[in-house]
A and B are shown apart, each in its own frame.
Chain A
Amino acid sequence: MSAVAEAHGGHDAHDHGAHPPTANASSRIHPVLLGIYLFLASEAMLFGSFFAAYYFARVDGSHGDTWPPEGYHLPVYLALLNTIILVTSSFTVHWAMQSIKREHRAGLIAGLGLTILLGLTFLLIQAREYTRLGFAVKDNAFATTFFGLTGLHGLHVFVGLNLLAYAFIRAWRGHYSAAHHHGVEVPGIYWHFVDVMWIIVYVTVYVI
């Protein structure tokens, strides 16, 4: 409120204030973190719908045939390697997070960089797996649900890599500090979610 506006006085001048009043913080959780947790709840349900479709096809659609159908094999050990890569990347992103909390900038950049490299490796291995599987989406319900679930997850890895890349650019330019690092924390939480989802996808599709 400038002095000029106060001179005109009264309620009217106040109505045109150029700045909003500061909102009351009625919860200890930061709005951005609550937002990403709710968003991930929504994402988990999206995966849920694909798991539902998977089990409908596997239990009700296959009429007691073997699953996977005769002649279909999945590269279980290659996918296990991928699992290890993704789990490792969860640790590296956690390292980045812990580094910035201690104002340790090099650790932040190295941690984010390693996470991005591991994520890219995961996607490349998955792409190579896709091209050498020997079956396509339209073959049968096994193939469709396989590509549906792993493809949905691959898309999330891609989105997560984008978010990490933005955080990396900003970290490289020296933006984050021990007090302000939501820009790292949100992609980090998202990345952990992608990781946990992969473990469920891996166990469902490849192992059992």
Chain B
Amino acid sequence: MATTVDQAHVEHEAPPKPPVRGLRRLMQPGWLRAAWVTAVTFGLVTGIICLIRWAGENGVASSEVWSLPVLISFWTIFVPIGFLVGLGAFDYWFYWISGRPTRPEDHSGHGADSWKDYFRVNTDHKVIGVQYLVTTFTFFLIAGVMAMFMRAELAEPGAQFVDTQTFNGLFSAHAGIMIFLFIVPVFAGFGNYVIPLMIGAPDMAFPRLNALSFWLLPIAGLIMLSGFLLPGGEYAAGWTNYPPLSDVNPVGNLMFQMGVQWAGASSILTALNFLVTIITMRAPGMTFWRLPLLVWANFTTSLLVVLATPFIAGSQFQLMLDRVAHGCFFDPTCGGYVVGYQHIFWFYSHPAVYIMILPGFGIVSEVIAAFARKPVFGYRLMAMSLVAILILGFSVWAHHMFVAGMAPWLRIPMMITTLLIAVPTGIKVFSWLATMWEGRIQFKTPMLWAVGFISMFVIGGLSGIYLGSVPIDIHASDTYFVVAHIHYVLFGGSVFTIFAAAYYWFPKMTGRMYNEQLGKLHFFLTFVAFNVTFFPQHYIGLRGMPRRVADYDPAFADWNLVSSIGSFVLGFATLIFVYNIIVSWRSGEPAPSNPWRALTIEWQVSSPPSKFNFDEIPQVVGGPYEYGVPGARHAVFNGDRVPAPEPARVEVGH
């Protein structure tokens, strides 16, 4: 069997190009070229900037010519572009703009035959999805270690491990990396892998743009982390980066501003790609009312990303002008309006919390329908509530600023719209419950995470209603109550859905099953440890313990110790997940093409899917969730030949 496959493989592919030798290797797209182009760009930027400053200042003291903030701004703009050019992200476009004839796509940048193909510019949405997931989970672990350091410091009052400025850097980097390099892009990773399969498309609409938007992500991460190496340390004004503090902090603060730009560009381009793919590449018969809810969720999220993310880009550009060019956007001493930053920032960053949860809603809808063996309750209302959240999400930003000194008349309208969002969210929660009602529930690991998500997210939602009400918010602002709330919605909410998705689609992505016992152990340990860590923070927050401080009143010592112990167990539980994924990926049991007996299209092709997903685009004939409906079908393949009896990849090498 294996030989047959290999022969067919050779017959079909274009003959391999002769290997490149000698100096020509330096010109081939790849890591070698990336290394020297990056180095050359770095040298050029440094030289040109210093020369201009030297000429402009007429040869003044060298400290004036060598200005670290200015250099960092230009390095972080141009050196990543040099790296991308070297890696080959723009090769086709350079070819195109030079006016040469259009080149038929030879698909040489598509698909992965060995692990090395994951480390180049790859245009296959499945490879890009895996690239996204591995990269973002790496950042998850890094930012998690930062949290461990913080909890170690907070385990008892007084200073133990880190000084206060390092502590500020730790919590800022923890939040910045978790938000911009884990939760937002990890959903782009799942979406990349699953959406084209779900809607019956061979790939995304713009595969080269897709590859580019992935490679912007590690750049953003490295920029954000490199702040630790700068004089004065990492950016330390919190992930919200409010001026005037962010204007006077050490130079590492620029690393947040530029890292966010790259991560933001990445997510805008991916969102644009999702929208175009979903609108223009659906299989015949796949109307909007037959789209799986994950696709609906990513559709609304992508609209949010495209419309809101430019606002954080703008706010950080303005901060940079203030800092590097000594501008006055937010500097009240020369006519700026300091609260204006918070308005512009939160006009992105409140929609951003929906960017971080709506794809999770979609995942949970998929998982619950498949494991309760029932159609999703109120499918159309589920989709419409996503749209309602999208629209309402733009009208609530100032509820983050009740105590910031903004115009007082804004408070009540913002409170009302904030509380209104509980309505579409409530529709979703009750619809999930109704989906499970009288279903034949199978508590496999993904389902455990989905159910855990509902309970934890409801707690986070309730504390959100508290914080959305002006009187309570004035009391609880900037306390650990806010920390508890954000972790109940982002960890108990988003991260639980991410784990559900990771276990749910792991067999599809790798062709192997994960270890069910370890998965369940991971869930229960995380569930308990998560509550031990964060629930006490509600209490100490209401008692008045401020957030973002390295030291605290000894009266809070006991609960902080409990919280720290919980967090270390949480860290250990995550290691179980990492072990399970790595070992199962290498030597797990081969997965059938549809282990969950789900109806959506990605489960009707082999695990992992073939290079171009389908031989022929499937025909969609019904809704995606008609579990238990006699005779119902979602999609028909090539005159009914698929699902394949046994996937080919599994048999090779066994």
Contact = CB atoms under 8 A, between A and B. Distances in A.
Interface of A: 2, 4-5, 8, 11-27, 29-31, 34-35, 38-39, 41-43, 45-46, 48-50, 52-53, 56-57, 60-62, 65, 69, 137-145, 147-148, 166, 169-170, 172-173, 175
B454 to A, nearest CB: 33
B5 A31 contact: no
Contacts of B200: 24
Given A49-B310, A169-B99, 19 more contacts: A2-B12, A5-B8, A16-B8, A16-B611, A17-B615, A20-B203, A21-B614, A24-B200, A26-B282, A26-B283, A48-B311, A49-B315, A57-B329, A61-B332, A61-B337, A138-B327, A143-B328, A145-B329, A170-B96
Contacts of B1: 12
Contact of B610 (A16, A24, A45): A16
Nearest to B314: A49
A140 B617 contact: no
B337 A60 contact: yes
A34 B280 CA distance: 9
Nearest to A51: B314
Contacts of A22: 202, 617
B617 A141 contact: no
A24 B329 CA distance: 48
A148 to B, nearest CB: 6
Nearest to A172: B99
B280 A45 contact: no
A5 B335 contact: no
Contacts of B282: 24, 26
B280 A25 contact: yes
Contact of A45 (B14, B310, B648): B310
Interface stretch (B318-326, B480-488, B490-498): B318-326
A4 B268 CA distance: 44
Contacts of A29: 279-280
B275 interface: yes
B612 A21 contact: yes
A168 B151 CA distance: 59
B97 A169 contact: yes
Nearest to A143: B328
B47 interface: no
A61 B418 CA distance: 28
B612 A35 contact: no
12 contacts: A5-B8, A13-B12, A17-B615, A19-B107, A20-B202, A42-B272, A45-B311, A53-B329, A61-B340, A144-B322, A144-B328, A144-B336
Given A38-B272, A138-B326, A144-B327, A57 B337 contact: yes
A144 B329 contact: yes
Contact of B321 (A24, A148, A166): A148
Contacts of B332: 61
Contact of A57 (B202, B336, B648): B336
A49 B12 contact: no
Interface stretch (B301-309, B422-430, B528-536): B301-309
B329 A34 contact: no
B148 to A, nearest CB: 36
